[in-house]
Chains A and B, each alone.
Chain A
Amino acid sequence: MPVLPAECLEESDPRFARLDEVIERYGRNPSALIQVLHEAQKLFGYLPEQVQMRVARRLGLPVSHVFGVSTFYALFSLRPVGRHRIQVCMGTACYVKGGEQLLADLQERLGVGIGETTADGRFELQAARCLGCCGLSPVITVDGDVYAECKPRLLPAILKKYD
């Protein structure tokens, strides 16, 4: 079981007010939970416990429901993420063209596993499911910048651009 960091946010944090606005915009509709969590993650960078509690309360849902959802979907993060998000495509097209080597190389180079953050908080390494650029496989993205037809040899130069 992953241990979750117990970050404590101030009740007066202005982001909470913005979160409340988002929830109101969706008319406190529990069906909109996933949309609300997307926006909450945009505000806070991830989904801290307090935020999920807040969302649960305002949408009238048990917090176990919110937690069940936030842990079900791969794009929600329950811990702070690195400054730069590297996504290595592990879709079929990229896999057959060497995506796995890219991933292995990055794991080694950054000293982290998949879904982990480097100790200096600089990079977050993720394996993605098809980024939709299969025509240009293998593909990695860093903060949304696409590096198509990528090779392990090119990685150092790519990483250098982000700090």
Chain B
Amino acid sequence: MAVTERLPLGRVAEEVRPEVELVTLTIDGRVVQVPAGITLLEAARLAGMRIPTLCHHPALPPEGACRVCLVEVEGRSNLVPSCQFPVADGLRVRTNSPVVREARRTVVELLLARHPHDCLGCVRNGSCELQELARQVGADPDRFQGQPSSVPVDDSSPALVRDPARCILCGRCVRACSLQAVGALGYAYRGLATTVGPAFSHRLAEVSCVACGQCASVCPVGAIVERDDTARVWEALADPARYVVVQVAPAVRASLGEALGLPPGTPVTGKLVTALRRLGFRQVFDTEFTADLTIVEEANEFLHRLAEGGPLPMFTSCSAGWVKFCEHFFPSRLPQVSTCKSPQQMMGALVKTYFAEVQQVDPDSIFSVSVMPCTAKKLEAARPEMGGGGRRDVDAVLTTRELARMIREAGLDLAALPEDRFDPPLGAATGAASVFGVTGGVMEAALRTVYEWVTGSELGTLEFAALRGWEGVREATIHLDGQRVRVAVVHGLGNAARFLRALEEGAPSPAEGPGQGRPYHFVEIMACPGGCVGGGGQPYALDPEVKRARAAVLYREDSSRRLRLSHRNPTVQWLYRHWLGEVGGEKAHRLLHTTYQPREPY
């Protein structure tokens, strides 16, 4: 009678195992075959049913807490959470019965009892999963009444704002922060008094939060969001006495479109430049320019350390989240971290020195804005060492999400805008700088330069296949004129912590897995899973494919460029020759390098 449907297995199947074992079950009356080992939620998706979820996030371990995804399984007296329940042969599942629908609706109504009903005044209005869910299930927000949480808003962090009143205790942020091996957030108390936040009700700025924003990017509601700096930027833009410049990080051009309704993976570089001009920025610079500069300084630093024997391995320093993580949890490694400022801060420093000089603008009148995929960059820009003479290198950092809001507010239709180019001189970049936005990119860019400098010859292929991909730790050995240089690429702080602990443990034993006590020379660490394409300030995305689509944009940018090696960037060369002096020289050091300080792990 019933026809068994073989569902298109797609990615789900690939991820489960190459040799897919199939199970047969009935979903809403349809007999379907799906790969073993997946959940009912995934199976239902394959069958074209969209079961709503809330505590579930594909990048996080399942929790089964929120009960929004409940379905009926024949023979079970209770409804089961489909996000967590494994498929099995012969199951008869109903995802859409009256009982299921009423259960879902009631769960949402209960959550709304203590939730503020002020969507119109909430940053997540329009991008909120709870709001969407309430709409989807037809919830009556006033069916139940309750006391909202009275825990005050925490806006102590320069990067993030937590509003416990909006928290629905789904625990996604707790899981994200714990995957980041920080554990700044946790559950506390129990029952109705349960809260989520740092220990002892401390504020985020007082604990070891590294501001990576992974919590904010998984929070389904407006309970943890980036600190909104758009008002400050609007104000500066409206002030005729201010000379407002902006720089844009590589990963932003690969994702901004998503936040404004374009499909993931749409490159919007040219339109982005136009949008920024129309918003009123006097100069639109490219952080990729200082990414090239960073590579030149960092490659030079690395070769020095290699020649002088240390301290090695050298760790990259451009991920603001990683730097703070290292300060808190691995302070003994700080001498090994490259002293180069991040591209954002190099750009900031140049804007208020070099650019001010050549344009004859009073540096104090410059308001320097950056657009970043990252919340940690807000914190980085606020560090006292990032500036000079009471002046900040960068005055305001906007995340991709904030820029999207400004563009929307200004009524600009991004898709319809013409393309434009970054302003010279701080707008010229090579392909090496584009891949900065993806895990492995900095290492790849640095190696291109190092190789040429050391060997004097050109690389055959510029892509280092071993360094691309999504495994948490990847490594390669490069032969530099007879010397074997071992490098590793790590993304996600959980992987970083494991990597560093493995380094600390035991003697070198090359047979072991990555990190196991091996003598590395150069290690790239990115705080966010996937690198900046997965940054904490990027548009919200529940689909893990989105990150890959963003990365593809950056790889394409790189391969389509004529110049793909940072040290070949003519503007960079010009800058050294006419203004900065020697690579790694005194002036470069003063402007482009920084220091770190050990911090407490809590």
In contact, B200 and A62 (Cβ under 8 angstroms):
no
If A53-B602, A57-B601 touch, whether A67 touches B199 (CB-CB below 8 Å) is: yes
In contact, A1 and B201 (Cβ under 8 angstroms):
yes
In contact, B602 and A56 (Cβ under 8 angstroms):
yes
In contact, A49 and B186 (Cβ under 8 angstroms):
no
Q: Enumerate chain B residues within 8 angstroms of A61, measured Cβ to Cβ.
A: 183
Q: Enumerate chain B residues within 8 angstroms of A57, measured Cβ to Cβ.
A: 601-602
The B69-110 residues at the A interface (CB cut-off 8 A) are: none
The A1-54 residues at the B interface (CB cut-off 8 A) are: 1, 4, 49, 52-53
Q: Most chain-A Cβ atoms within 10 A of its Cβ — which of B187, B200, B207?
A: B200
In contact, B602 and A65 (Cβ under 8 angstroms):
no
Q: Is A127 an interface residue (CB 8 A)?
A: no
Cα–Cα, bound, A64→B184 (Å): 6
Q: Which residue of B lies closest to A56 (CB)?
A: B602
Q: Enumerate chain A residues within 8 angstroms of B201, measured Cβ to Cβ.
A: 1, 4
In contact, B186 and A62 (Cβ under 8 angstroms):
yes
By size class, the interface of chain A is 10 to 19
If A57-B601, A68-B188 touch, whether A62 touches B183 (CB-CB below 8 Å) is: yes
Q: Is B190 an interface residue (CB 8 A)?
A: yes
Cα–Cα, bound, A49→B187 (Å): 16
Q: Is A101 an interface residue (CB 8 A)?
A: no
| Nearest CB of A to B406, in Å | 34
In contact, B199 and A72 (Cβ under 8 angstroms):
no
Q: Which residue of A lies closest to B164 (CB)?
A: A1
| Nearest CB of A to B414, in Å | 40
Q: Which residue of A lies closest to B152 (CB)?
A: A1
- The interface bits of chain B over 193-212 (1 if a CB of A lies within 8 angstroms of the residue's CB, else 0) are 00100111100000100000
Q: Which residue of B lies closest to A74 (CB)?
A: B190
Q: Which residue of A lies closest to B198 (CB)?
A: A64
Q: Is A106 an interface residue (CB 8 A)?
A: no
Cα–Cα, bound, A63→B186 (Å): 9
Q: What DSSP secondary structure best describes chain A's contact surface?
A: helix
Which of A49, A53, A62 sits near B184, CB closer than 8 Å? A62
Q: Which residue of A lies closest to B174 (CB)?
A: A64
By size class, the interface of chain B is 20 to 34
Q: Enumerate chain B residues within 8 angstroms of A65, measured Cβ to Cβ.
A: 183, 186
Q: Is A71 an interface residue (CB 8 A)?
A: yes
| Nearest CB of B to A75, in Å | 13
In contact, B190 and A66 (Cβ under 8 angstroms):
no
Cα–Cα, bound, A67→B207 (Å): 13
| Nearest CB of A to B210, in Å | 13
Q: Most chain-B Cβ atoms within 10 A of its Cβ — which of A49, A52, A62, A66?
A: A62
Q: Is B161 an interface residue (CB 8 A)?
A: no
Cα–Cα, bound, A38→B392 (Å): 49
If A1-B151, A57-B601 touch, whether A63 touches B199 (CB-CB below 8 Å) is: yes
Q: Enumerate chain B residues within 8 angstroms of A72, measured Cβ to Cβ.
A: 187-190
| Nearest CB of A to B601, in Å | 7
In contact, B187 and A68 (Cβ under 8 angstroms):
yes
Q: Enumerate chain B residues within 8 angstroms of A64, measured Cβ to Cβ.
A: 183-186, 188, 198-199, 207
Question: Can you list 26 pairs linking A and B with CB atoms under 8 Å apart?
Answer: A1-B151, A1-B195, A1-B201, A52-B199, A52-B200, A56-B602, A57-B602, A61-B183, A62-B178, A62-B183, A62-B184, A62-B186, A62-B602, A63-B183, A63-B199, A63-B602, A64-B184, A64-B186, A64-B188, A64-B198, A65-B183, A66-B199, A67-B200, A68-B199, A72-B187, A72-B190
- A residues with a Cβ closer than 8 A to B are 1, 4, 49, 52-53, 56-57, 61-68, 71-72
Q: A63-B199, A64-B198 are in contact. List 11 more A-B contacts (CB 8 A).
A: A1-B150, A57-B602, A63-B602, A64-B183, A64-B184, A64-B185, A65-B183, A67-B186, A68-B187, A71-B188, A71-B189
Counting from the closest, the 5 A-B pairs by CB-CB distance are: A62-B183, A64-B186, A67-B199, A68-B186, A64-B199
